[in-house]
Amino acid sequence: MENLDKYFDPKGPFAALRVSQMKRSWKQSNRRELNWWENTYLPMLISGIYLTSKHFFYNVTFHILHLFGIAKGTKGAVTYQYPEMPRPLSSRLRTRHRLTKREDGSPRCVACMMCETVCPARCIEITAAEHPDPNIEKYPSEFILDLGKCVYCGFCVEVCPEDAIRMDTGNLKIAEYSRDSMIYDKKRLMEE
Amino acid sequence: MNDLLIKFILSAGTLFIMFNIAGLLTWVERKQSAVMQDRIGANRASIFGMKAMGMFHALADVLKMLSKEEFIPEGANKFLFNIAPYLSVTFALVGFAAIPIGGELVLNGHSIQLQAANLNIALIFIFAMMSMGVYGVVLAGFSSNNNYAFLGGMRGAAQMIAYEITMGAAIMGVIMVFNTIDMQALDRAQGAYMLGGWLPKWGIFVQPLSFLLFFTAATAETKRTPFDLPEGESEIIGYFVEYSGMKFGMFFLADLVETVLVAALMATLFFGGWQVPYLHADGFYFPWGGHMAMANLPVVILGVLSFFFKVALFIWFLMAVRWTLPRFRYDQLMNLGWKILLPISLINIAVTAVVITLLGR
**Residue in A49, A59, A81 nearest the CB of B38:** A59
Q: Which ranges of chain B would DSSP assign to H, the alpha helix?
A: 2-36, 56-66, 78-94, 122-143, 147-178, 183-189, 203-206, 208-221, 245-270, 296-322, 330-334, 342-359
**Residue in B36, B39, B40 nearest the CB of A52:** B36
Structural domain for B145, as ranges = 2-359
Rg (CA), chain B: 22
Q: What is the ipTM of this complex?
A: 0.85
| CA–CA gap between residue B166 and residue A79 (Å, rounded) | 42
Residues in chain B with pLDDT < 70? 1, 361
| CA–CA gap between residue B126 and residue B117 (Å, rounded) | 11
Q: Is the CB of residue B109 less than 8 Å from the CB of residue B178?
A: no
Say how far residue B161 (Cα) sits from the centre of its chain: 17
CB atoms A78 and B38 under 8 Å? yes
Per-residue pLDDT at A165: 94
Task: Write phi, then psi, for A127 (nearest 5 degrees).
Answer: -110, 120
| pTM of the predicted structure, to 2 decimals | 0.83
DSSP string, B284-338: EE-TTS-EEE--HHHHHHHHHHHHHHHHHHHHHHHHHHHTTSPPPPHHHHHIIII
Q: Is the CB of residue B134 less than 8 Å from the CB of residue B157?
A: yes
Residues in chain A with pLDDT < 70? 1-13, 26-31, 192
Say how far residue B234 (Cα) sits from the centre of its chain: 24
Looking at residue B47, the DSSP 8-state letter turns out to be: B
Of residues B331, B358, B348, the one with CA closest to residue B162: B331
Which residues are CB-neighbours of B229 under 8 A, at least 6 positions away?
A: B155, B156, B159, B236, B327, B328, B330, B333
Per-residue pLDDT at A23: 73
**How many domains in chain B?**
1
Per-residue pLDDT at A154: 93
What domains does chain A contain, in order, with CATH numbers?
A: 1-31 (no CATH), 98-190 (3.30.70.3270)
Interface of A with B (CB under 8 A): 45, 48-49, 51-53, 55-56, 59-60, 63, 76-79, 81
**Residue in B36, B321, B325 nearest the CB of A55:** B36
Q: Computed from CA positions of residues B48, B50, B56, B61, in that sequence, does the dihedral angle turn out positive or negative?
A: positive
CB atoms B38 and A55 under 8 Å? yes
Collapsing DSSP to helix, strand or coil, A101 comes out as strand
CB atoms B38 and A45 under 8 Å? no
CB atoms A77 and B32 under 8 Å? no
Collapsing DSSP to helix, strand or coil, A148 comes out as coil
Tell whether omega for the bond before A13 is within 30 degrees of 0, i.e. cis.
Answer: no
CA torsion A48-A51-A56-A61 (nearest 10°) is: 150
CB atoms B35 and A51 under 8 Å? no
Say how far residue A38 (Cα) sits from the centre of its chain: 41
Residue B36 with chain A: CB contacts under 8 Å:
52-53, 55-56, 59
Kindly report, residue by residue over B36-45, the tens digit of the pLDDT: 999 988 888 8
Per-residue pLDDT at A170: 87
Per-residue pLDDT at B320: 92
Q: Which residue of B has its CA nearest to A76?
A: B38
CA torsion B11-B14-B18-B19 (nearest 10°) is: 50
> CA of A93, closest CA in chain B: separation in Å?
25
**Residue in B34, B36, B325 nearest the CB of A45:** B325
CB atoms B36 and A56 under 8 Å? yes
CB atoms A49 and B37 under 8 Å? no
Residue A52 with chain B: CB contacts under 8 Å:
36, 320, 323-324
What angle is formed at CA B241 by the lines to CA B239 and CA B244, rounded to 5 degrees?
Answer: 120
Q: How far is CA B45 from CA A79, A88, B59, in A?
A: 17, 26, 9
Q: Which residue of A has its CA nearest to B44?
A: A81
Residue B320 with chain A: CB contacts under 8 Å:
49, 52-53, 56
Per-residue pLDDT at B348: 94
